[in-house]
Amino acid sequence: MKKSKKLMALLAGVLTASILFTGCGGTQQEAMKNTEEQPKTEQKSAYPEKEVIFVCPWPAGGSSDLIVRTLSKGLDGIFTKPVVVVNREGANGIIATSGLTSTPADGYTISSGTNGLFTTSPLTQEGVNYSIENFDFLVGVTNEPIVISVPAGSPYQTFEDLVKASQEQNVTIRYGNSGIGGIPQLTLAYLFQLADINAQPIPFKGTAPAITAAIGGHVDAVASHPGEVIEHAKAGTLRPLAISSPERAAVFPDMPTMKELGYDIDMGVRKFVFAPKGMPEDVRVTLVEALTEVANSAEFKKTMEDAGLIHDVMTGEEVKKYLEEQLPIMKDLIEKMPKQ
C-alpha cells in the first residue's frame, strides 16, 4: 500500500513537471515569434562613402560649369566625402551623356544637363544612344528663356506690329540666331508658327554676331537669352519685345511673356542634374534632398542671378515631364526647318 502511494505521488510529480515545462516552452516560442514579428528599424543611408563625381558635359568657364561648381561647393558642406567636378566636353554634351549609360547606377556619378540633350540632339545628331528613359532626373535649377528683340530703329514697337506687318503687308521677318536647330532658333520658329508670321531664320556662328547684325539693321529681329541682350537694351541699341518664360523676367519687368501675348510657349534652355537610372532608393533620396537644399539656398540663387540666369528650381519629376512635353514640339519644328 505504501509502495502504491509512493508510485502515485511520483506519477503526479512527473505530470506536473511536464505541464510546467510545456507551458514554459510555449511561452518561449511565443516570445521568439513576437520578436521576429517586430518591424525592423530602417537604417539611415551611409551614402556617400567615397567621393562623388559631378560631370559637366561642357568646358570650364560657361554657365553650365558655374552651375556645377556652385552646386558642388554646397554639397561639400553637406556630405562627409568630397564632390569632384569633371569637365567632359565634346559634341555639345552628347559624349558625356552617352558615357553615363554604361556608368554604374550607384549615385557616385551625377551630371548636369540641358533639355537640348534630350529634345533636339537625338533628332538632329547621328549616333545618339540614349533617351529620357535611361536616366533619373534629380532636380532642375535654372532656366534661360529666349527673348525676341528688334533694332532700336525698327518700325516694330511691339510684337503685335510684327504680326501686322507679316499678315497685312506680306513682310517676311528675317531673324538672326545662334544656329539652325538650336533652342533659340526653334523657340522663335515656334512663336512665328503660332502667330502665323512669315519668317526666315538667318543663322550665325553664335549669338554675339547675330546680335551685332541686329544692331546694325541687317536682320529684322534676333533670338537670345536675357543675359546676352540686357546690356544692349540698357544702351538703347536693341528693343526686347517678348520672352518665352512662364513669368516675366526680373531683368525685364515691363516685357510681356509670349503666353501673355496669347501664345502658349514655355521654352528655353533649362538646366538640371541627372544620373544613371536605377540608383538604390535611399541613395536617390539622399541626393535629391541635398541637391534641393543647395539649389534653394540664398548663395546659389544669388550666384545664378548675378550670372544672368533665372533661378527656377524644379523637382526631378517636373524636369522629366517638361522634357516629355517638349520632345514632340521639337520634333515637329525640326522636321519643318529649312535644309542646310
What does the pLDDT look like over 260-296, one tens digit per residue?
Answer: 999 999 999 999 999 999 999 999 999 999 999 999 9
What does the pLDDT look like over 125-170, one tens digit per residue?
Answer: 888 999 999 999 999 999 999 999 999 999 999 999 999 999 999 9
- Provide the mean pLDDT of the chain: 88
Q: How confident is the model at residue 338 (pLDDT cuts 50, 70, 90)?
A: low
Domains present along the chain, CATH in parentheses? 52-143+268-336 (3.40.190.150), 147-243 (3.40.190.10)
β-strand partners of 269: 144
**What pLDDT, on a 0 to 100 scale, did the predictor assign at position 2?**
45
CA diameter of the chain: 134
**What pLDDT, on a 0 to 100 scale, did the predictor assign at position 126?**
86
Compute the average pLDDT of residues 241-253.
92
pTM equals 0.79
Please, are residues 165 and 156 in contact by the beta-carbon 8 Å criterion?
yes
